[in-house]
Amino acid sequence: MFNRLGSLFTEASLWIWKTMQLNVIWFMHILLGGVVLGFFPATTALFATTRRWLKGGLEEPIYDGYHRYYKAHFWKTNAIGWIYTSIGVFLALDLYLVTQLKGIVVLFSTAIILFLSILYVFFIFICFPVLRPF
């Protein structure tokens, strides 16, 4: 019983440690890209690394695979991210002007939906390479 409990604790500790490392690498790559250009590729590389882990690639070094994906898709993810962000800003501004601050709840809920949908776009970018526009 104690052997099983110990292996469960060891496995959980390993996942927590890898997640902490990945978060630090993600933050460093955001700063590496100059914040404005670093956010989208760093987040996409974060999702790609997590997906690699879930598919059984836990033995590969975290930084090497992360940085390789970051560099390979830097401009593609920036293009997708900034196009999507500019469309979202346009729609939010349009909604703001239409409602004239009567529906602040509508504006807030639209922002949440836009944020969640951008995460979905990057998951699609990672999981289905055939659908990449660039």
pLDDT digits (tens, 9 = 90+) for 111-129: 888 888 888 888 787 887 7
Reported as a single tens digit per residue, the pLDDT across 11-58 is 899 889 999 999 999 999 999 989 899 999 999 999 999 999 888 877
> Which element (helix H / strand E) includes 24?
helix 2-32
Percent of the chain with pLDDT over 70: 89
**pLDDT score at 132:** 57
Q: How far apart are the C-alpha atoms of 105 and 116, rounded to whole Å?
A: 17
Instruction: Give the number of C-alpha atoms closer than 13 A to the C-alpha of residue 80, restricted to the C-beta side.
Output: 23
For the stretch 90-113, pLDDT in tens is 888 777 776 665 667 777 777 888
